[in-house]
Chains A and B, each alone.
Chain A
Amino acid sequence: MLKTYLKRCIFCLALCFAVSSHAHNPPYLIISEIESGRLTFENEQIAAEYAAASKRLRIRRLEAMPWTKKIYVFIKAGFEHIIPDGLDHILFVLGLFFSSLKLRPLLIQVTAFTLAHSITLILAGLGLVKIQGSFVEPFIALSIVWIAVENTLFKKTTRWRSLVVFMFGLLHGLGFANLLSQYGLPKNNFISLLFAFNVGVEFGQLFVLLLAFIVAKTLFKNSWESGKIRVPASILIGCAGLHWLFQSLV
C-alpha cells in the first residue's frame, strides 16, 4: 500500500507550508496531499457538473423526507409544471376548451388527453420508453398548431378528434417525463411519486379549464356563443404554437 501513500503525498499546498513553521499559526489547515500546478477552467463543464450535482442533492434531500411530505412535494411540482411553468400545455388545454361548446365532447377530449399523457409519463418514468427531449418538443408545438387550425377551420369537431387528441396526449406525457427526469425521482417510493406528480399535472389542467370556464361564462357569455372569441383566441394559440415550433426546430 506504500504506493498509495506516496502518490497521495507528492505535493503539498504552498500556503500550508508558508504558514506551518511560524508561531501561533492555526494548525495545518490542510492535511494530506493535494496536487499543485495550474488548473484550467472549462466553464461549460463546470456548469454541467454543477447541474448533475444539484440533481443528486435534490434526490438525497427528497429521499430523506417523510413519505407524506414527498407526496405533497411531487403533487405541487406536477401542478407547477402546468401553472405557471407549462405555458405550452396551458395553451393546448385551452385549445381543447375553445373547440367545443358542449360539456360532453370537451370532457371526452380532456379525458383522452389525460389518459394518454399519464400512460407515456409512467412508461417513460419507468424507463420503458426513452425519447430525447429535442425530438418531442417540436411535436408538442405542432399539436398546439393543429388544434388551433382545427378550431379555426371546422365548425364542428371531427369524429377522429378524440383519437388525435389522444395521440397528442402521448407526446405531452413524454414532455412531462423529460422534465421529471431532469429533476430526478428518488428510488424509494418511485411509483407513488410518479403517480403524485401526475395527479399534480391533472390538478393544474383542471384548474386551467375551470378558470377558462368561469371567465367565459361570466365575461364573454354572448360573444362566446357566437364564436367571436373562439376564432381569434385559436389563432393566437396557433401563432404561439408556430413560434415554438420554429424555435424548437432551429
Chain B
Amino acid sequence: MGLLIFASCQQNPKMNDNINPFFQEWNTQYQVPPFLQIKDEHYMPAFEKGMEENLAEIDSIVNNPEEPTFENTIEELERTGKLLTKVQRVFSNLAGSNTNPKLQELQRELSPMISAHYDKIALNEGLFLRVESIWNNRENFSLTDEQIKLLKDTRKQFIRSGALLDSNQKEEITKINSKISELSTQFGQNLLAETNGFELILDDDELDGLSDGVIAAASESAAQKMNEATSPEEKAKYENKYVFTPHRSSMYPFLTESTRRDLREILYKSYVMRGDNNNENDNKEIAVEIANLRAQKAEIMGYKTHAHFILEDNMLKSPEEVYDLLIKLWEPALKRAKSEVLDMQAVSDSEGNNFKIAAWDWWHYSEKVRKAKYDLDEAELKPYLSLDNVIKGVFNTTNKLWGLTFTEIFDIDLYHPDARIWKVTDKDGSHLGIFIGDYFTRSNKRGGAWMSSFKGQSNLDGRERPVVVNVCNFPAPVGDDPSLLSFENVTTLFHEFGHAMHGTLTNVTYPSMAGTSAPRDFVEFPSQVLEHWASEPEVLKSFATHYQTGEPMPDELIEKLLKASKFNQGFINTEYLAASLLDMDWHTITSDVVLEDANSFEASSLAKIGLIDEIAPRYRSTYFAHIFSGGYSSGYYSYIHAAVLDSDGFEAFIEAGDVFDETLSSKLRKHVYEKGSTEEAMDLYVKFRGRKPIIEPLLKVRGLDGKPD
C-alpha cells in the first residue's frame, strides 16, 4: 500500500462531495478539468443549468436597448454558453473514452435536449434581426477581416437554419426535417437488421483454406449464437458449426482465405444485397424519399440542389468543383484497377482455373498477388514501433517543424491512469497548450481514434490556451514488453496528433473560430499531412528503433513497407470514387425530377462512369449509411479531397529538398495550423502552397500515375 498512496495523487485538492465541480471556477493547473471530483450525477444538473444560463445570456443580448453593434451582439455571443461548453466538453469526451452504462444512458437522454437547445438559439428571431442589422451596416463599423468573417459565418448559420424564410416556409422546413430524420433512423435500423439477418453456417468440411484464427472466430460466433438461441431446434442449428456474417470483420477474412468459390459468392452477395431484398427492411424507397425531400428543402432554402446547399460551407464550393475533382481521379484509378484484375486473372489461370475473376474473387486473388509482389510481414515491423518511441518520433517531428517541446506532467490526475499529459511549449518558451494522450484500448472505451478538446483557445478576454486530447485504441503492453504498434497504428497516431496540433497551435481571437472549426473537406488536411512525416525514411529511421537492441529499422524493411502501401490502390480508390460519385448524383437532383427506383438510378449512375463488374461501389445506395443516415450527404468526397491536399502539401517539402524546410514549415503553421476558420480554406491553402492544389502528387503517392511500382 505504501507505494500506492505515496506515488499517486499527492495533490488531491480538497474534496467536497456536495458541490458540483462544474459550478466552480477550476483553479487547477492549466485549467485541466478536476476529473477526480467529477461524478456521473454532476452532468445532468450542469447541462440543465448550462442551457438555462445560455438562454438567459441570449435574451440579454436580444433585449439590449442599445443599437446592435458588433461588440454588443456578435462578440457578446462569443462569450455565451461557457458553462454549457464546459460540461459538454468533459461529458462528450468521457462518454467515449471512459464510459459506463450511466453515461451511455445520459447520452441518449441528452442528445435531443442539446439539439433542441441549439435550435432555439438558431431560430431566435430577435437575435437574427440584430445580426442582420449589423451585417447591413458592416461598412460603418470598421471591422477587421477576422471580424467580418465571424459576422458572415454567424449570419450564414442563421440563414441556413431558415431565418430568412416566411412562416409557411419555416413550417414546411420543420416538417421536411423531421420526416428526413425519421427516414434516416429507419434506414439505419433496416441496415442493421439486414446485416444481422444473414449468416453463412458451415460444417467442418466447408472450411477449405481458412486459417486457424479465422476458424476459431467463426466457431466462437456459432457458440455465441447458440447461447442466445431460445429454442432447442435453434440451438441445434449452431451446434459444432461455424458462422460467418456480412459484417466486414467476418466477411473479409473469409473472402480472402476461403478456397470455396461458391461460398465466397454467397457471402459476398449477402453483403451487397443488404437493404435490397424486397422485404420489410428494404431501403430502396427510403433512399429515394430522402433524396427527394432534400431536394425540396434545398429549393425552399433558395439553392439549386441539396449538394449546393451543403457545399456552400466547404472548401470546394459547388458540385461542379467536386465532380471535376472526382472525375479527374476516376480514370487513373479505374485504369489501375483494370490492371489489377489482369494480375489476378493471370494467377487464377496459372492455377488451372477456368473462370473469369468476379467481384467475390477479389480478396482471395489480390492476397495472392500481394504475397508474390509486396510480401511484407507486419510482425517484422512491430519490434521497431514501440509506442514510446513513436510518441518521441511525433514530438520530434513537431520540434523540427516548429520548435515545440513537450514536457510530461506527473502531478495532474486524469480520468484514467493510462491517460498521459504533456505541457506544450513554443520555440520562444511561451506556453502553447496541454496535450493529453490516451492510447491503449480498454473495455470502457469506444473503438476508433479521435481528437477532441477539454478547453478551447481564445484571445477575446485575455490569452487562453487549449487543452486537447488524442484517444486511440492501440494494444496495451503485455507483461514486461512495451506496447508495440503496427504501421497502421503509427499513421493513426500521427494523424490524430495532426488534429491535436491544429487544436494547439491555433491562435485566433474568437473561440468559435479556433482550431478544428474548419470546413469538413479541409479539417482533415492538418491531420493527414502529418502522416507523411511518419513514412518519410529519414524520420522513420530516427524513431523506429528496436525496443530490445536499439537498432534502427533496416533500410530494406523500410523499402518493403513503403512499396506495400501501393498494394490494391486501384481497387481501393475505384470503389471509393464510385461511392463518392453516387453520393453526388443522389444529391444533385432538382426537386422537379421524379425518381422512381433506387436500383435503376444507381445503375445508370455507375454505367455513366463505366465501373467494371469486378468492383462494387464502396457503399451501394441501400447501405450507404454515411449519406442516408449519417451526416455525410454530398460530403463523402471529403476524404479524398483532403488526401489531394495532403499529398500536394507534402510535395512542397519534397520539392524544397528538405522535409523540415524552415520557410515552408513556418508557412504551414502560420496559414493552416494557426488560423482555424478565420479565413476561407482555399485562401489559407494558397497562402501556404503558393498555388491551388493539384492531383498529381496524390496519384504518385497511391501508385495511380501509371508508373511501375
Contacts and interface: CB of A to CB of B under 8 A. Distances in A.
Interface of A: 1-6, 8-36, 38-42, 45-46, 49-50, 52-54, 56-58, 60-62, 64, 73-74, 76-81, 85, 183
Q: Is the interface of B mostly helix, strand, loop or mixed?
A: helix
Given A2-B640, A39-B104, A24 B4 contact: no
Nearest to B100: A41
A30 B452 contact: yes
A32 B449 contact: yes
13 contacts: A2-B572, A15-B110, A23-B154, A27-B516, A28-B516, A29-B88, A29-B453, A32-B499, A35-B447, A57-B417, A60-B408, A61-B7, A74-B3
B451 A2 contact: no
Contacts, number: 202
A24 B456 contact: no
Contact of B492 (A8, A36, A61): A8
Given A33-B450, A183-B3, A27 B515 contact: yes
Given A15-B107, A24-B80, A183-B4, A31 B516 contact: yes
A32 B520 CA distance: 10
Nearest to B160: A21
B514 A1 contact: no
Contacts of B515: 27
B2 A79 contact: yes
A58 B7 contact: yes
Contacts of B517: 27-28
Contacts of A64: 408, 410
B372 interface: no
Contacts of A29: 88-89, 92-93, 452-453
Interface centre among A8, A16, A38 (most CB of B within 10 A): A8
B496 interface: yes
Ranked nearest first, the 4 interchain pairs of A and B with the lowest CB-CB distance are A80-B2, A22-B118, A27-B517, A35-B447
A8 B451 CA distance: 12
A5 B448 CA distance: 11
Contact of B96 (A30, A60, A80): A30
Contacts of B495: 8, 32
Interface string B117-138: 0110110000000000000000
Nearest to A180: B3
A137 B639 CA distance: 58
A6 B2 CA distance: 48
B509 interface: no
A2 B161 contact: no
Nearest to A78: B2
A53 B2 contact: no
B92 A16 contact: yes
Nearest to B701: A1
Contacts of B104: 38-39
B682 to A, nearest CB: 19
Interface string B602-616: 000000000000000
Given A2-B576, A26-B81, 4 more contacts: A11-B630, A35-B448, A57-B417, A183-B3
B354 interface: no
A165 B447 CA distance: 54
Contacts of A15: 92, 95, 107, 110-111, 114
Interface stretch (B358-366, B437-445, B684-692): B437-445
B643 A5 contact: yes
A53 B440 contact: yes
A27 B88 CA distance: 11
B314 to A, nearest CB: 13
B61 to A, nearest CB: 11
Interface stretch (B334-342, B523-531, B592-600): B523-531
B477 interface: yes
B80 A58 contact: no
B666 interface: no
Given A35-B447, A49-B443, A13 B92 contact: yes
Contact of B89 (A24, A26, A80): A26
A216 B408 CA distance: 52
B115 interface: yes
A7 to B, nearest CB: 9
B452 A58 contact: no
A6 B416 contact: no
B439 to A, nearest CB: 11
Interface string B319-345: 000000000000000000000000000
Interface in B169-184: none
B446 A34 contact: yes
B60 to A, nearest CB: 15
B118 A53 contact: no
Nearest to B440: A53
B551 interface: no
A67 B99 CA distance: 37
A8 B122 CA distance: 31
A152 B115 CA distance: 77
Nearest to A40: B443
Contacts of B312: none
Contacts of A183: 3-4
B355 interface: no
A26 B449 contact: no
A62 B3 CA distance: 10
A61 B410 contact: yes
B190 interface: no
Contact of A23 (B122, B477, B516, B702): B122
A245 to B, nearest CB: 23
A38 B81 CA distance: 30
A22 B115 contact: yes
A26 B450 CA distance: 17
A32 B496 contact: yes
Given A2-B569, A31-B452, A18 B114 contact: yes
A152 to B, nearest CB: 32
Nearest to B159: A23
A81 to B, nearest CB: 6
B418 A30 contact: no
Contact of B531 (A1, A34, A41): A1
Contacts of B450: 30-34
B88 A41 contact: no
B311 to A, nearest CB: 14
B77 A62 contact: no
Contacts of B8: 54, 57-58, 61
Interface in B68-109: 77, 80-81, 85, 88-89, 92-93, 95-96, 99-101, 104, 107
